[in-house]
Structure 1
Amino acid sequence: MHHLTILSYIVWDPMKEIIRGIQPPVWYSVLFALGFIIGYQIMVYIFKKEGKDPLNVDTLTVYMVLATIVGARLGHLIFYEPERFFADPLMFFRTWEGGLASHGAVPMILLALFLYRNYFVTGSLLPPKLKFKKQKKTGQSYLWIVDRIVITVALAAVFIRMGNFVNSEIVGKPTDSDKGVVFGRIAEMYFEDGINGVDRAEASKGTSSEQLAPGIVPVDILVTFEGTSSTEQDIRAKLEREFKPMLTRYPVNEHYQEPLGTPLNYELVPNGRQWTATIHTYGIVRHPAQLYESATSLILFFMLLVLWFKYKEQTPEGILLGIFLIWQFGFRFFHETFKENQVAFEEGMTYNMGQLLSIPLVVLGLFVLIRSLVIGRKTE
């Protein structure tokens, strides 16, 4: 056993629902939508400041929302689950199974902005009777639009990664220290949904000062059983028969390390008509990789916004896009070193899929930035 001197880890166990018992909308969906709502307001402000028709932002937002969702979904399925996707293309619509990839959103957004810039759309989505008529937006070049939209995309990335953190998904690797985050919600969900008679489960920092090993720290799980006629003996049998094995099985054991070969360590007390058990176990401390990425995206957002405020139309077209691609996906390459791989085939790779897909986008950013600076100097 190792002794903790400073309990610097946190046990992260937010309610997945905004209102307990009501699943939709989850926090991720709210944060995802919030990124677009605030981005919409920013784009209206930009259009007004630069003398453009702010009504165009409504159309632009529709393009952006559709491109982001469709592109991110296709990107995940093509890059991470191609065999399943090509065998069952309808899984594209099963979004509740999860799976969005920002690398897929980028090319789809760039295409959508090209359509917005060059075509006027008429018709309806349902039933699909869309018609594209060639009509360029006056005073809005393609790079002018992209340079402004990346400001809001950087902000959306902040909210999306915060949503991933709330959902305890795209988690980081173990820190092998007591500094980091234990994603405690996974055990709560499996206890509440997978074991009959459980009313509620809440994970928190353990009261013990001992840890199994570096990065394996005490976690207490308070389990409240529904008011039933079960005896104390029945509850104790359930704890050993069902709770102990669940803590050692996938996917709970990705975040917990329950000692093997020993009885479950717990206290059981009556609480009115209910029973309450405090299970003493251990959690795996991980990097909050989602917050790392959210933080660098926030810095990028403010950096792009300041550049726009200071220079506006004086900025050579393409510079903000170039900075966005280099910063966002350069850091994405770096952040991937702290993340667990998303799919099994990445385990044998020197660089995972997220890193490989980031390289061409960084190269594209360098090309756009250098080209913009060279053209900018020629026009001075």
Structure 2
Amino acid sequence: MSHIFFRIYLVVFVCVTQCFFAQEYPGGLSDGTLKVNETALPVKIYSTTEAGDLNAFPDKTTENNVLVILNESSFEPSFYSFTAGTLAKYKASKYQLLDKNFKPIGNQITGDNIKNFKYAVKSNKQITANDHVTLETPFSIWDPSKGIQLGPITLHFYSLMFVLAFGLGYVIMSKIFKIDNVNQKYLEPLFTWTLIGTILGARLGHVIFYQPELFKEDFWSVFLPISTKNGLKFTGFSGLASHGATIAVIITTLYYSFKIIKKNPLWVLDRVGIVVALGGTFVRLGNFFNSEIIGKPIDPTSPFAILFPQQSSEYGATVPRYPTQLFEAFGYICLFVLLWILYRKTSKKYQQGWLFGLFFIILWAIRFFVEFLKMPQGDEFIQIGGLNTGQVLSIPFMIAGVIIMFMSNKFKITQAENEKPD
């Protein structure tokens, strides 16, 4: 047993120390090897989502062997002229422009072919169409498409993950209602109120905790997926906070419990917590597809190291980082499995509040420890004793979970009471 506790302590120690000893990458460049047939060319890898930085990069570097990963975000129609000028600048600086298969694109840059450009390579060896070229790195590179293209519409993976979260949540909650002999008519309002609480609470939580200036600078963007700064523009909701979603879902659940299903709110929250744990998994996978909520720089030889070429410049240089989204997703799916087993195989579902309290403790503990490896999410307005906003906000929820678990002894019901018809 002592060995188990030692290993747990070691993992926690590594997480904490990485907060202070993050890997450094001079110039924001990471190392890789470009293999051209049998020739291995050591290259410095650069990527950015900032059009201005991309344009300025050829003037700053004097390295002979450089590989620049070009981003799809740079090729939006509104940026065409600037992007075309940037690519022309790279060509003038003796970079070869290549497609995703490392094949040279020698023709003129046009609106029709501009999205074919994927790499810009500067080296002493000229790459030809007949060369077999691969990029080898000690780390993984995560550079997916934005989503599934359906004609003129792009179904973004992040949106798809949200659909899966609520869709599977609906199916699982339907099964739970059948197990507990609850009329299915109560499922639709629960789904509706949970959806409202999640979206509205997550958005307000982000703005209040991380971006309060939006209330003054761009008020309508707080509630609508638009921006009114510098003209009207559809942006989608670019900031959602789980702490805000949690508070709002608790509020909507209280309303649902007292006014609609007329059950103890802890009974409802015990079951909602199960599907929320699964939903959190899909949300973090959506963050992974979006290359957001990424971790701090990591040793490129680490098995966890991932380069996110599509990461926002607000996270700093595009270098190998911890995939903190996957760490959280793994933790949440394990929590879901644990809660489901406890719900199905034990009598804890009759101890109203016990499952929800456990859910709160573990969920926010996962969030608390993963935060040590995360980059700051916007402006960190709340910082206490070296803890960031996410960690500070997680502590009250963990404490609440402990209190709820202790109080759950007062709210025990029998199996007959639980399955009593409406």
Q: Which residue is 2:178 aligned to?
A: 48
Stretches (4+) displaced over 6 A:
1-4
- Describe how 1:348-367 pairs up with structure 2 within 5 A: 350-367=386-403
The size of the alignment, in residue pairs, is 269
Distance 2:193 2:347 in 1: 23
Q: Which residue is 1:207 aligned to?
A: none
CA displacement 1:344-374 (0-9 Å, x = unmatched): 4469762111011101101101110111146
Q: Which residue is 1:28 aligned to?
A: 158
Contact 2:353 2:411 in 1 (8 A): no
> Considering only aligned residues, what root-mean-square deviation do their CA atoms show, in Å?
2.7
Residues 22 and 356 (structure 1), Cα distance of their counterparts in 2 relative to 1, 3 Å cut: farther
Task: Kindly state the Cα deviation for residue 159 of structure 1 after the two structures are TM-superposed.
Answer: 0.1
1:295 partnered with 2:330: yes
Contact 2:159 2:286 in 1 (8 A): yes
Distance 1:253 1:314 in 2: 46
Contact 1:39 1:156 in 2 (8 A): yes
Task: Kindly state the Cα deviation for residue 91 of structure 1 after the two structures are TM-superposed.
Answer: 1.7
Distance 1:339 1:354 in 2: 10
TM-score by length of 1: 0.65
Distance 2:161 2:188 in 1: 20
Residues 101 and 253 (structure 1), Cα distance of their counterparts in 2 relative to 1, 3 Å cut: closer
Q: Which residue is 2:52 aligned to?
A: none
Q: Which residue is 2:289 aligned to?
A: 166
Task: Kindly state the Cα deviation for residue 335 of structure 1 after the two structures are TM-superposed.
Answer: 0.6
**Letter paired with 1:104:** G
Contact 1:28 1:160 in 2 (8 A): yes
Task: Kindly state the Cα deviation for residue 59 of structure 1 after the two structures are TM-superposed.
Answer: 1.0
Residues 335 and 51 (structure 1), Cα distance of their counterparts in 2 relative to 1, 3 Å cut: same
Distance 1:182 1:21 in 2: 30
Distance 1:173 1:87 in 2: 30
Distance 1:253 1:339 in 2: 12
Aligned-residue sequence identity (percent) comes to 35
Distance 2:153 2:223 in 1: 19
* SS of match in other structure, 2:346: helix
Distance 2:212 2:183 in 1: 42
* SS of match in other structure, 2:164: helix
Contact 1:28 1:164 in 2 (8 A): yes
Q: Which residue is 1:98 aligned to?
A: 238
- Describe how 1:60-139 pairs up with structure 2 within 5 A: 60-95=190-225, 96-120=236-260, 137-138=261-262
Gaps of 5+ in 1: 121-136, 188-249, 256-283
Residues 63 and 183 (structure 1), Cα distance of their counterparts in 2 relative to 1, 3 Å cut: same
* SS of match in other structure, 1:117: helix
* SS of match in other structure, 1:82: coil
Distance 2:256 2:400 in 1: 22
* SS of match in other structure, 1:119: helix
Contact 2:169 2:278 in 1 (8 A): yes
**Letter paired with 1:167:** N
Residues 63 and 178 (structure 1), Cα distance of their counterparts in 2 relative to 1, 3 Å cut: same
Residues 301 and 340 (structure 1), Cα distance of their counterparts in 2 relative to 1, 3 Å cut: same
Gaps of 5+ in 2: 1-29, 34-135, 226-235, 414-422
Residues 73 and 181 (structure 1), Cα distance of their counterparts in 2 relative to 1, 3 Å cut: same
Distance 2:241 2:309 in 1: 25
Q: Which residue is 1:324 aligned to?
A: 359
Task: Kindly state the Cα deviation for residue 21 of structure 1 after the two structures are TM-superposed.
Answer: 7.4
Residues 61 and 97 (structure 1), Cα distance of their counterparts in 2 relative to 1, 3 Å cut: closer
Contact 1:17 1:23 in 2 (8 A): no
CA displacement 1:24-64 (0-9 Å, x = unmatched): 42100010111110010111111111111012111110001
1:183 partnered with 2:305: no
Residues 177 and 170 (structure 1), Cα distance of their counterparts in 2 relative to 1, 3 Å cut: same
Distance 1:58 1:328 in 2: 26
Larger RCO, structure (CA 8 Å, separation 6 or more): 1
Q: Identify which range, 83-92 or 343-352, moves more after superposition.
A: 343-352
Contact 2:270 2:354 in 1 (8 A): yes
